[in-house]
A and B are shown apart, each in its own frame.
Chain A
Amino acid sequence: MSDNNLTNKVMNIKSHRLSKKEIDDNFSDLHAPLSAIEALIEADRCYFCYDAPCTKACPSDIDVPGFIQSIRSDNLTGAAEKILSENIFGGMCARDCPTEELCQLACVRNDHEQKPVEIGLLQRYATDSVLNNGVQLFSRQENTGKSIAVVGAGPAGISCAHRLAVLGHKITVYDAKDKLGGLNEYGIAAYKTPNDFAQQELDYILDIGGITIETGMQLGKQINLEGLQEKYDAVFLGCGLGSVNKLNLDNEDISGVIDAVEYIANLRQTNNKDELMVGKNIVVIGGGMTAIDIAVQSKLLGAEQVTIAYRRSKKIMAASEYEQALAKKHDVQIQYNMSPKRLIADDSHVTAMEFDVMKSQNDGSLKASGENITLKADVVFKAIGQKLVTEGLTDNNSLEIEKGRIVVDEQRKTSLSKVWAGGDCVLDGDNLTVSAVQDGKLAAISINETLTQGA
């Protein structure tokens, strides 16, 4: 395990690269919320399309024209209800969804004037109105007497728990961490969700009642799947991916080589971002959202040179064009076709990293071109994906796992009759918050149907 608490033993790593005020400014809202008049004008741009492409593009089936029409008519509660009844994390999704690849990409205004309706900002406007005013839109149905365990208090787990609570079941949510929220709390870039929004949203969601929270409960340690199946009528696994992939280089655990996920978690939890230790020359390995997030946030903390080194071509990069542009806007360099070859260290701290420059073959595979590039680095962030921790899940080998993910069907049922799963831990997921929320919702609907059959 690499050290995640950078020390100032290395000259180029230090805190207070920027003043507290500069850092606070840097981490303020990425997009300012819409004012009332901005929301009305923007809402007026919606054409109220039939069988709307934006809704079809939404992984959580939000009736976009429907909620925008309600904003137009000053029916903000109705707008929020349309959103939250499909996606209880509508507030967070409004902030962190890659709308430019989903609803806003589908907006017909793109064809008309190359400018989609700002669906994300409108969704935030509508959901903020009920979250900020504490307007509870949901109530619990009569108690069914059924109890369900949810493992993981991230968007998938809490979405499932909320829907089941609405349907009258009793839920116990287990989470390994001290704070609830999963990646909403520990993972999403800080500038997308300032002012402790993740906890504010959770408070709103859990306010419905019927959901018991057990923190500090980790699969394979305090709890295991077998025990949960015995104790509960059903189990939902929304445990996410508990460990990170390795570069598989010889001296990977030298000082200065860090898991991006853990650094981001610290960044999200600290109250004094100016106290964080920040490198001068930073290299980020990876091509997904985490790579972009750690690169941009390093810049915002005052790093001088940040380079994302991605193994494949720009086209294949998982981070959207929009996210890549965001990185470039923050002066992050992105270098493509760079395969990690070797970490160069001095006194057991990283000083540089050498890469093979890759070339795409006709069959799509990559081959080293023979050319090498070395980048100066006093910090190397690994953002090359995470993997499922199977301890406590597969002890009796009956839960079907494929490619390191839990296999589920369309209803999010696993191979075990009492177990459903969703979010990042399942196969074929796209690692989006919105998809995790949808998984939780669909699983809850399926669990409810199963538990109330013949009742």
Chain B
Amino acid sequence: MADLTSNFLGIKSPNPFWLASAPPTDKAYNVNRAFEAGWGGVSWKTLGEDPHIVNVNGPRYTTMMSNDRRVIGFNNIELITDRPFQVNLKEMRQVKRDWPDRAVIASVMFPMSEASWAKHIPIIEDTGIDGFELNFGCPHGMSERGMGAAVGQVPEYIKQATEWCKKYATVPVIVKLTPNITDVIYPAEAVLEGGGDAVSLINTINSIMRVDYDSLTMFPTTGGMGTHGGYCGEAVKPIALNMVAEIARNEKTRNLPISGIGGVSTWKDAVDFIALGASNVQVCTAAMVYGFKIVEDMKTGLSNFLDEKGMNSVDELIGKAVPSVTDWKFLNLNHVDKAVIDQDKCIKCGRCHIVCEDTSHQAIEYSTDSGDRVFTVKDDECVGCNLCVSVCPVIDCISMVAMTSGTDPRTGKAISPQASDWTTHPNNPLKVS
């Protein structure tokens, strides 16, 4: 069995699955249940100044579902903790005492005033928590008050607040980033400049789920009016993975430890995040959809996967896929793939044909001449776009196969063993000669 033990910034936990700062980590009751279920750590629901905020007494959550009611995406308008500061501190102290082997992180959000950080950070650290996570991501409500994403969207504020926190904290400081920005590199670099120890990302994405088809108002509403919320769950994972990978491959930030967040629902999602540069992952939506037990499969799945890969620990997986991520301009334009349909597996639905015919390169022929429905790839039209693979309902029925020799029947050009990219392409006005 591979070792799932995680050491993130010196914070040890029995596995790399932490619960993200969110409703599941709102209070001791939930956190105790989470630890009993086997979670490696928690980022406690974000603390703020007293008097504590209040939440609406109406819908805080909405989901996007498939027809069989499986949750695909999840939206929330809940704010940070709505309990008194001291109540949280007391519970955090007790929980950390009761669960010394688990990671307990204090998520915090304070105004852009050094006095506030100076006042709160030492008292929080005194509870025995393992680290801080600065919530610069919350996109709703708190951002209207100049906190959360309002800080996370301005690199100078990130740097400043990070500096203040570091000044008054002795434990590691993780900065949680918002995806509601144009380029995640700027906030990540600001964290480095402010002396932050790590980043965690992504927080939720600004979103409105839909309208109510009867009332033609947005949905859901609190008594008729609604507001945008934060989007999360499986649907946001690709957005999160890109941002994680961007930080992991950026020259300045590549050594900045990352805690991956965004749609982690199974061990495979954790593999995605970790291979693309995260050191551990944080989960919220999957727990809010299925309960804490979901961590069991995450742990055995990841462990079995590492065993299959001959890896002894999670650390060996970190960043494995990062070298394969590059800019478009460095992709090999001499590489030629062609779609190949396994006729024995094909169930003749024709989806590959119609999407290629209607929306792509007219490269899959449909014939009923033999009496059967037959779909075949026209190599002289196929550009290797992978659309057919992407819509085929049968696993491994269509695959992309690279041409290694001969001539591409589409272009009439010989397959070149030499790689060649856009930077030297004759059509590039800025090509390097």
From residue 38 to 62 of chain A, which have CB atoms closer than 8 A to chain B? Answer: 40-41, 43-44, 47-53
The answer to whether B68 touches A50 (Cβ under 8 A) is no
B interface size (C-beta, 8 A): 15
Task: Name the distance in Å between B213's Cβ and chain A's nearest Cβ.
Answer: 9
Main secondary structure of the interface of B (DSSP, over half): loop
Is residue A108 contacting chain B, with contact meaning CB distance below 8 A?
yes
The answer to whether A72 touches B350 (Cβ under 8 A) is no
Q: Known contacts A112-B393, A112-B394: does B349 contact A49 (CB below 8 Å)?
A: yes
A37 to B373, CA, bound (A): 33
The answer to whether A41 touches B349 (Cβ under 8 A) is no
B69: chain A residues at CB < 8 Å are 37
The answer to whether B67 touches A40 (Cβ under 8 A) is yes
The answer to whether A50 touches B351 (Cβ under 8 A) is yes
Cβ-neighbour of B373 out of A40, A53, A72, A112 (below 8 A): A53
A111 to B350, CA, bound (A): 13
Interface centre among A53, A109, A112 (most CB of B within 10 A): A112
Q: Which residue of A lies closest to B213 (CB)?
A: A74
Cβ-neighbour of B350 out of A37, A40, A50 (below 8 A): A50
The answer to whether B393 touches A50 (Cβ under 8 A) is no
Interface centre among A40, A41, A48, A108 (most CB of B within 10 A): A108
Task: Type the 1/0 row for A374-385, where 1 means its CB is closer than 8 Å to any CB of B.
Answer: 000000000000
The answer to whether A50 touches B354 (Cβ under 8 A) is yes
Cβ-neighbour of A108 out of B67, B348, B353 (below 8 A): B348
Q: Which residue of B lies closest to A112 (CB)?
A: B347
A346 to B68, CA, bound (A): 62
A37 to B65, CA, bound (A): 12
A111: chain B residues at CB < 8 Å are 347-348
Q: Which residue of B lies closest to A37 (CB)?
A: B69
Q: Which residue of A lies closest to B66 (CB)?
A: A44
Is residue B85 contacting chain A, with contact meaning CB distance below 8 A?
no
The answer to whether B67 touches A47 (Cβ under 8 A) is no
Task: Name the distance in Å between A307's Cβ and chain B's nearest Cβ.
Answer: 39
Cβ-neighbour of A47 out of B66, B373, B393 (below 8 A): B393
Is residue B305 contacting chain A, with contact meaning CB distance below 8 A?
no
A302 to B59, CA, bound (A): 56
From residue 363 to 415 of chain B, which have CB atoms closer than 8 A to chain A? Answer: 366, 373, 393-394
Q: Known contacts A112-B393, A112-B394: does B67 contact A49 (CB below 8 Å)?
A: no
The answer to whether B348 touches A53 (Cβ under 8 A) is yes
Task: Name the distance in Å between A449's Cβ and chain B's nearest Cβ.
Answer: 29
Cβ-neighbour of A43 out of B67, B354, B366 (below 8 A): B67
The answer to whether A44 touches B348 (Cβ under 8 A) is no
A51 to B351, CA, bound (A): 10
The answer to whether A44 touches B347 (Cβ under 8 A) is no
Task: Name the distance in Å between B398's Cβ and chain A's nearest Cβ.
Answer: 14
Task: Name the distance in Å between A109's Cβ and chain B's nearest Cβ.
Answer: 8
The answer to whether B349 touches A50 (Cβ under 8 A) is yes
A37: chain B residues at CB < 8 Å are 68-69
A108: chain B residues at CB < 8 Å are 347-349
Task: Name the distance in Å between A10's Cβ and chain B's nearest Cβ.
Answer: 55
A52: chain B residues at CB < 8 Å are 350
Q: Known contacts A111-B347, A111-B348: does B67 contact A50 (CB below 8 Å)?
A: no
Task: Type the 1/0 row for B317-352, where 1 means its CB is closer than 8 Å to any CB of A.
Answer: 000000000000000000000000000000111110
User: A residues touching B (Cβ–Cβ < 8 Å)?
Assistant: 37, 40-41, 43-44, 47-53, 72, 108-109, 111-112
In the complex, 18 of the A-B residue pairs with CB atoms within 8 angstroms, ordered by the A residue number, are A37-B68, A40-B67, A40-B68, A41-B67, A43-B67, A44-B67, A47-B349, A50-B350, A50-B351, A50-B354, A50-B366, A51-B350, A51-B366, A52-B350, A53-B373, A111-B348, A112-B347, A112-B393
4 smallest A-B Cβ distances: which pairs? A50-B350, A50-B354, A40-B67, A111-B347
Q: A40-B67, A49-B349, A53-B373 provided; 5 other pairs, C-beta below 8 A?
A: A43-B67, A47-B393, A49-B348, A49-B350, A50-B354
